[in-house]
Amino acid sequence: MNPSFGELLVPLEEFTRLHANTLRRFGRHAVDLAFPNPQFLADPRPYEVLASLAAQAGPPDLRYSPFGGFTPVRRRLAGALAKQHSLPYTFNDIVMTPGATAALHTVLRALFTPGDHIILFSPCWMDYPLYLADLGLPYTLVPSKADKHLDPGAVAAAWTPSTRGVIISQPSSPTGVTHNPTELRQLAAVLERHTQPGPPLLIADEAHAHQSWDCTPCPAPAAYYTHTLTVRSFGKAWEMQGQRTGCLAVSPRLTPRHETATALLRQMRISGHCAPTALTQQLAAALCETVPDLSGLADLQRHTRRQLRAAGVTVLDTHATRFLYARCPCADDQKFVARLADRGVLVMPSSLFHEHGWFRIALNLGAPGLDQAIAIICEEYARA
Ligand SMILES: Cc1ncc(COP(=O)(O)O)c(C=O)c1O
């Protein structure tokens, strides 16, 4: 029996309170490495393009857009994604959404019916179970392997006659693991074994797709499994999370392709989500071929990993995202995170990601704040 969405909200809201209280208590001395809100600008280009779009905008540029977004925007995104996934996307396959959150909610509500069983991997992005519980979709959290990579065998074991879908994040949030082609092929093989009452859907959450900071290739799940819906977040890619821009992409090989896209568009209308704002849609089109400069993030990742490992902290070996995923010195991750918060350092306990015993650091700032926080983490680690 899965927890209710009310029960799932308890730890999330407790952490939100701890976060707010710590910021209030420590003021500018707090070091906030919890939610991914970078305090420095790694790549100014998206900000420059947005400023120039705003400066030139007239009423036609700020008009209502259709529910899936402006057609020229969708066309450009389809072209960019076609190159990245090596699949022939057209504009009809793309639905613009106000962030990846709305994309996820839209696909779950439009393409599944209450009682459909979904498989997730733990740890996973914190709100997947919340959405599923809200929509009456029972789920199984399948543990990842010790290195936090996919375990296709565990998916096969968790399959039930009512399983209709699997959700993965690639690269993985919260860990930063990049699933490799072999793992994606094995996962696809498990899905392909189940064809009744229709092919199961794979939801590939690529919210962090542009954040492979050491250039490790990040293979697209859609290239391995036919019935895949991809979720993207442009806010995340350009460090403008508050601008709420993302999209859904229906694989051109998915059947029924056009009916699926229509169901998503209808759901956008029914839920009142609407497409992102007119300007951020234009921004998405302008930047869809641009790869963000991640050199600053790569330096921070290497620096932080070196310092933590030198102090004996176990840090997961990963290649993507702004996150580091590290083992707590005690089983109770919330207790360890509360101790750090008591010293003004905010990180997230892994229990929010539906696994115990780890914590997640978001590299939101550089020295001296980051070094201070690392020193405190290492001290508390040694003390535990
Ligand atoms: C895996 C994953 N999916 C979705 C989201 C939500 O993204 P957005 O801010 O575009 O709604 C996040 C945000 O951190 C995430 O990590």
Pinpoint the alpha helices (H) of 149-210.
Answer: 152-158, 181-192
Q: Please tell me the residue having the least CA distance from ligand 1 atom 3.
A: 207
pLDDT tens per residue across span 178-226: 999 999 999 999 999 999 899 999 999 999 998 999 999 999 999 999 9
Q: What is the spatial distance between Cα 18 and Cα 23, in angstroms, rounded to a whole number?
A: 9
Mean pLDDT of all residues in 230-236: 94
Q: Please tell me the residue having the least CA distance from ligand 1 atom 15.
A: 207
Tell me which of 232, 236, 283, 353 to substitute to probe ligand 1's pocket, judged by most ligand atoms within 8 Å of the beta carbon.
236
On whether the CB atoms of residues 97 and 248 are closer than 8 A, the answer is yes
- Residue 99 CB less than 6 A away from ligand 1: yes
CB-neighbour burial class of residue 138 (10 A; exposed 0-12, middle 13-18, buried 19+): middle
Mean pLDDT of all residues in 335-350: 98
What atom in ligand 1 is closest to the CA of residue 102? 11
What atom in ligand 1 is closest to the CA of residue 103? 11
Contact residues for 160 (Cβ-Cβ < 8 A; gap 6+)? 117, 140
pLDDT recorded at residue 237? 87
pLDDT tens per residue across span 46-91: 999 999 999 999 999 999 999 999 999 999 999 999 999 999 999 9
The Å distance, Cα 100 to ligand 1 centre, comes to 5
Q: Residues 188-212, buried b or exposed e (16+ Cβ, 10 A)?
A: bebbeeeeeeebbbbbbbbbbbbbb
pTM above 0.75, yes or no: yes
Expressed in percent and rounded to 5, the helix, strand and coil fractions of the chain are 45, 15, 40
In the chain, the largest separation of any two C-alpha atoms, in whole Å, equals 61
Residues β-bridged to residue 201: 165
In this prediction, residue 289 has a pLDDT band, given cuts at 50, 70 and 90, of very high
pLDDT recorded at residue 40? 86
All domains of the chain, ordered by start, with CATH?
A: 5-42+293-383 (3.90.1150.10), 45-287 (3.40.640.10)
Q: What is the spatial distance between Cα 141 and Cα 164, in angstroms, rounded to a whole number?
A: 14
